[in-house]
Structure formats: C-alpha cells, structure tokens
Amino acid sequence: MPDTSPFLRLPDSQHTTLCLLGDWTLANYAELRRLIGSLPADVAETPEIDLSQLEHVDTAGGQLINDLLGAERLQQLLQSSDGLSDERRTLLARIASTCPQGPDPEPAAGQPLLDMLERVGVSMKAHAAHVIELLGFIGLTLSGLIGGLFRPRSWRPTAIAAQIEQTGLNAVPIVALLTFMVGAVIAFLGATVLQTFGASIYTVDLVAFSFLREFGVLLTAILMAGRTASAFTAQIGSMKSNEEIDAIRALGLNPLELLVLPRVIALLITLPALTFIAMLSGLLGGAMVCAFSLDISPVMFVNLLRDDVGVQHFLLGIAKAPVFAFLVAIIGCLEGFKVSGSAESVGEHTTSSVVQCIFVVILVDALAALFYMEMGW
C-alpha cells in the first residue's frame, strides 16, 4: 500500500489517528475496494478514528466504511464523533444497523431424529389442513346440489350433456378394452391354479365374483381418476391462471354452479354406467379364456354364472360407483381451484389430483370390502 492515499491516512509516528479522507462514493468504489483489501486486519482496532474530513459519502462508500471498521465500531464512532453532519450520521447509522459485519454463524449440528420428527409433524399438519379443506369443499358442493334441486333456472343441461360426452362416451373404449384384458388375465391365473386341484370349473365363479364386487368398479374409478380428474384440474386450473374465474365472479355468476356442479352430476351419471360396461367386458374376457382354454362354452359359462352368482354381488359393486364418482369429481375440481397463476402450478396440481384420487378410491374400496365382510354380504 502506498504511504499516501487520497482516501485514507494511516497512523504513524506523527499521527495516531486513522483518518478517512476525500470522496467515498460509487465513482471511486473499485479503487476504495482495492485499498481496503490491502490494509492490515487490525486497522479497525486503531484507538482514534476521524471521520470528520470525509467530503462526500454515498451508500456504496458507507458500505465500504462499514466493511473497514465493522458495524459495532462504526456505531460507537457515530455516537462520539462531532464532525459529521446529521445526514451523513443518519446514513452511516442505517448502514451499520442493516449490514452488520461479523463471521457467519456456525450451522447447528444436525440431529437426524429431531429433523425427521419435524418433517413428519409438518407433513401431518399439511395433510390435516388439506383434509379439512376437502371436507369443506364437499359440504359446499352438497349444499349447492341440494339448493339447485329447488331452483330449476340454475340447472345447466347443456353443460351436463357436454361433460357426460367427455367423461362417459369418450371413455367407453378404453374402459372396455382394459377390463376385457384384465378379465382374461384373471381367468388365465385362476385356471392355472385351479386345474391343479381339478376345479377349473370354478374359474367362472372367480371371474364373476372379482369383477362384480371389486375389479369392475375399482378399475373404472382408477381410470376416471387418471383421465377425468386430471382433465377437471387442468381445465379449471387454466381458467384460474387466465383469471377467467375472476371474470365469472365479476359477471355475478357462481363458479361452483357453473364449473363444479355440472362435472359432479355428469360423473355421477357416467361412472356407474361405465362400471356396468366394465363388468360386462371383464366377464366377456373371462368367458373367452374359458371357451378357448378350459372348454367351457359360452352357454355353460352363462348358466354357471346364473346359478352360482347372485344379483346381490352386482348391487354391492355398483353401489360404490356413485361414491367414487363424487370423490373423483370433487378432488379434481378442488385441485383446479388451488392452482396459482403459473403453468407449473397447473402441472403440479394435476399430478396431485390424480395421486389423491387413486389413493382415496383404493382406501374407500378397502373400507367398503371390510364393511361388506363384517356384514356378511
């Protein structure tokens, strides 16, 4: 460092005071930064420091003074120095208070068990808030459905018909094809095991019981969760991000009646119908396997089905379809309303709606199976 500087005079044999001089401004920032970097580390410990000979100081220069002297020493000097104007004193005091200098605090030692418990607690709190939000939206939708029954002018048959076409008619091929193949697979597996005991004839009962009670409605609901719930979330979420829902409210219309109720009603109609188609397709797939692999003719298959399987099993399976339809529609619409203003949020909530729908459908189906077992049905 040179002996003389237009910005700084170090203490020597003649002067015991560290004196700051000249213009500590943005125009001289690079030179001041190099000057401060060349000073010894203990320069801030000089007994006497003079700030009264500063000519001009701005925010950049004040930050450099704070870096040179330290926030604590600078605040002490501002309290005792009489050669500074009120404006400079206020500027330096604000910089010292908002930009403290000192070593970064050491990060706390990790405690894996406590960290894990904290994450579990935060996750449980978030899930509890989500369940409360879902229950509130279910109540709001039910009140809208019941209230709409007594207000025929609020009915929207055109919107319901359009949703029935999208959620029901367009889904018939994929539902029928998937359940046909699953029915064939179940018949193959059942025949492989039952032939060992000479009871391959009971493959008919296996296919019929599995599809009438469980697989027909469960596979249909899972397909609707992946196909329809995601569509509901994406449609409503796109409207939310484009501020179309705000425009609907500005027109004095209710987004619940306009967007949610037609979708819920349409899915309440289409999912039981698709479940019936899924049951027939699954039975048809099992019948084809029985016909080609077990020499059980279609006529014999139908006779065994009529004699061994009661209509009660069909009713127990189809009774779950409206419940699944309501839950899938509600979750899909709710996630759509939770979308923020970005396209990334639409994708996140669409994925979330599919995962939640599949989880809820499987959970409710398991609870229904336990209930049927306890009731002896």
pLDDT of residue 358 exceeding 90: yes
Give residue-wise pLDDT tens across range 107-152.
Answer: 666 678 888 888 899 889 988 988 898 899 999 889 888 888 888 7
List the beta bridge partners of residue 19.
Answer: 9, 50
**Once rounded to an integer, what is the mean pLDDT over residues 194-216?**
86
**Once rounded to an integer, what is the mean pLDDT over residues 338-358?**
86
Are the beta carbons of 141 and 261 closer than 8 angstroms?
A: yes
Q: CB burial class (10 A; 0-12, 13-18, 19+) of residue 23?
A: middle
Q: What is the pLDDT of residue 148?
A: 82
Q: What is the pLDDT of residue 46?
A: 72
Confidence at 328, pLDDT banded by 50, 70, 90: very high
Give residue-wise pLDDT tens across range 145-189.
Answer: 888 888 878 788 898 999 999 888 899 999 999 999 999 999 988
Give residue-wise pLDDT tens across range 218-228.
Answer: 999 999 998 89
Are the beta carbons of 187 and 201 closer than 8 angstroms?
A: no
Average pLDDT, the chain: 84
Residue % of the chain over a pLDDT of 90: 27
Euclidean distance between CA atoms 324 and 318, whole angstroms: 10
User: Is the model more confident about 293 or about 18?
Assistant: 293
User: Strand 22-24 to strand 54-57: parallel, antiparallel, or no bridges (unpaired)?
Assistant: parallel
Q: What is the enclosing helix (H) or strand (E) of 290?
A: helix 261-293
**Once rounded to an integer, what is the mean pLDDT over residues 212-241?**
90
**Once rounded to an integer, what is the mean pLDDT over residues 2-30?**
72
Cβ-based neighbour number of residue 42 at 10 Å: 7
pTM for the structure as a whole: 0.68
Q: What is the pLDDT of residue 4?
A: 57
The top-scoring range by mean pLDDT among 57-66, 90-99, 303-312, 320-329 is 320-329
pLDDT of residue 1 exceeding 50: no
Q: What is the pLDDT of residue 101?
A: 52
Q: What are phi and psi of 339, to 5 degrees?
A: -70, 140
Confidence at 2, pLDDT banded by 50, 70, 90: very low
Tracing tokens 């419940």 back to the chain, one arrives at: 323
Nearest-Å Rg of the Cα atoms of the chain is 37
DSSP sequence for 121-183: HHHHHHHHHHHHHHHHHHHHHHHHHHHHHT-GGG--HHHHHHHHHHHTGGGHHHHHHHHHHHH
**Once rounded to an integer, what is the mean pLDDT over residues 75-101?**
74
Confidence at 94, pLDDT banded by 50, 70, 90: confident
The DSSP code for 338 is T
